[in-house]
Amino acid sequence: MKLKLGLFSFCLISLLFLVACSEQTNNKDDVIAILKGIDIKVSDLLKQYPIEEEYIEIFLKEEIVIHEAKNIGITVSDQKIEELKQSYYPSNEFTIIEDFHIEQAEVLGITAEEYFEIWSLTYLERNEYIQEYIKTQFNKPSSVEEGEKWGEEIEGHINNLFTHYKEKKDLIIK
């Protein structure tokens, strides 16, 4: 019995070792895509999302919209970010630490509080660019019924931009 348990343990440990070694690891400096000649690194993604394929695509679509917003002259000033920060966090305390923030902080080698501040300020800036872009490109829906169609129109527009950027090689996904 002792031999069987030992063999079983050895096999289990070997299997765990193989699984652990086969998992893809990402260096924070690895390039996940190139947008108009600018490298987008794992560390850029980690400021907002975990390293998962679905989040990489969401992040890249956001990057394209932000790029488009800047191309049409939209800017988000530090003052605007500060105003948004005060409206979202009136007490100026970053206390909404969740498991996600803790996990991301560990990957980046910083504290959860530091990560939350980076995440929230990055989110505020990115979201403002995206919202301003949408305001300039789409009329607001006049009813709740039109809201769903409006959302679908925006999603279709962003998906078309994503496809267009990839086809033109303005976005190269690694």
Indicate whether 146 belongs to any domain. yes
pLDDT tens column, 145-171? 889 899 999 999 999 999 999 999 999
pLDDT of amino acid 88: 82
- Full domain range(s) for residue 39: 30-173
pLDDT tens column, 63-79? 999 999 999 999 999 99
Within a 10 A sphere around the Cβ of 56, how many other Cβ atoms?
19
pLDDT of amino acid 3: 39
Q: What is the domain count for the chain?
A: 1
Please enumerate in sequence order all residues whose Cβ is within 8 A of that of 32, keeping only pairs 6 or more positions apart, or say none.
40, 41, 42, 44, 45, 56, 173, 174
**Bridge partners, residue 172, by sequence:** 34
- In contact, 105 and 114? CB cutoff 8 Å: yes
Indicate whether 115 belongs to any domain. yes
DSSP three-state, residue 161: helix
Alpha carbons 94 and 113: distance in angstroms, whole number = 7
Indicate whether 93 belongs to any domain. yes
pLDDT tens column, 66-113? 999 999 999 999 999 989 988 887 776 656 778 888 999 998 999 998
pLDDT of amino acid 92: 62
pLDDT of amino acid 10: 33
Indicate whether 161 belongs to any domain. yes
Indicate whether 84 belongs to any domain. yes
Indicate whether 8 belongs to any domain. no
CATH number at residue 85: 1.10.4030
pLDDT tens column, 14-53? 333 333 333 344 688 899 999 999 999 999 999 999 999 9
Task: Tell me which residue of 122, 85, 84 sits closest to 104, measured CA to CA.
Answer: 122
